[in-house]
Chains A and B, each alone.
Chain A
Amino acid sequence: AQSVAQPEDQVNVAEGNPLTVKCTYSVSGNPYLFWYVQYPNRGLQFLLKYITGDNLVKGSYGFEAEFNKSQTSFHLKKPSALVSDSALYFCAVRDPYSSASKIIFGSGTRLSIRP
């Protein structure tokens, strides 16, 4: 069965420093991978996705993620954090060989950027 894990409940970073939010996945075949962000009292917003091609994917708000097949990881990164990046981040996976179109979300990582 497909699954996704976010090993850190919370990540704390000083403004201006690089940030990494970790994600590992388990799926048969080649996965579709996603990152979403959730701000308080708002719906999830799409950040970026990996379907195929270049392992480094660039997304919204300066975020990027690197697909690593050997480590089954899809970590979210940003070179220089902003206080406004503070939010809840979700990694998600879809098995392209599944007949269902659902995606499976991780439990989320709360990112806190201190000024």
Chain B
Amino acid sequence: GAGVSQSPRYKVAKRGQDVALRCDPISGHVSLFWYQQALGQGPEFLTYFQNEAQLDKSGLPSDRFFAERPEGSVSTLKIQRTQQEDSAVYLCASSLAVSGDSYNEQFFGPGTRLTVL
């Protein structure tokens, strides 16, 4: 079956522009995560959804970052008024986990490489 897909794969934005990054998780996966991976670093958690509910957004770096998953499947990460420090690879992951007590591994998409000029 299909894995996690993300679009676009590459995005170049001018400073101050708004961008929207899309994630299509594996069908049936309840949990969805967004991570930010700066060059030479490990992924850093941004936010977590269980179905359509955003249960944890503690990793979002500022109020310019907004994520949604209105129907519990596709998710969009939006960054308003982009800054150069927002340049990174944005990874989406999904898993079968349905509660905080159980754990299934996360399946990652290929990422969107955002470059802010």
Query: Which residues of A come within 8 Å of B, CB atoms?
Result: 32, 34, 36, 41-46, 49, 51, 90, 92, 94, 96, 98-108
Which chain A residue has the least Cβ–Cβ distance from B33?
A102
For residue A13, give the distance in angstroms from its CB to the closest CB of chain B: 21
Shortest C-beta distance, B49 to chain A (Å), equals: 10
A46–B94 Cα distance when bound, in Å, is 12
Give bound CA distance, A43 to B35, whole Å.
Answer: 12
- Nearest CB in chain B to that of A6: its residue: B42
The answer to the question of B77 belonging to the interface, with a C-beta cut-off of 8 Å to chain A, is no
Give me 6 A-to-B residue pairs in the complex whose CB atoms sit less than 8 angstroms apart, sorted by A's number: A36-B108, A43-B109, A46-B105, A49-B103, A101-B103, A104-B45
Q: Closest Cβ of chain B: how far from A90's Cβ, in Å?
A: 5
Expressed in whole angstroms, the Cα–Cα distance for A34 and B58 within the complex equals 22
Most chain-B CB neighbours within 10 Å: which of A42, A43, A49, A100? A43
Q: Do A49 and B110 form a contact, CB below 8 Å, given A43-B4, A108-B42?
A: no
Q: Report the contact-size class of chain B (Cβ under 8 Å from the partner).
A: 20 to 34
B57-109 contacts to A, CB under 8 A, are 58-59, 91, 93, 97, 100-101, 103, 105-109
In this complex, the member of B3, B35, B100 whose beta carbon has the largest number of chain A beta carbons within 10 angstroms is B100
CB proximity of A70 to chain B, nearest CB, Å = 23
**B113 to nearest A CB, angstroms?**
9
- The docked-state distance in angstroms from the alpha carbon of A106 to that of B107 is 17
* B45 near A108: Cβ-Cβ < 8 Å: no
Q: A45-B108, A102-B48 in contact; A107/B42 too (CB < 8 A)?
A: yes
Partner of B48, one of A42, A92, A101, A104: A101
In whole Å, how far is A95's beta carbon from the nearest beta carbon of chain B? 10
Of the candidates B42, B59, B105, B109, the one whose C-beta lies within 8 Å of that of A90 is B42
> When the two chains form their complex, are residues B91 and A43 in contact, meaning their CB atoms are under 8 A apart?
yes
**What's the least CB distance linking A111 to chain B, in Å?**
15
Contact A44 B41 (CB under 8 A): no
3 nearest A-B residue pairs (beta carbon): A105-B42, A43-B108, A102-B45
| Residues 24-68 (chain B) with a chain A CB within 8 angstroms | 31, 33, 35, 40-45, 48, 50, 55-56, 58-59
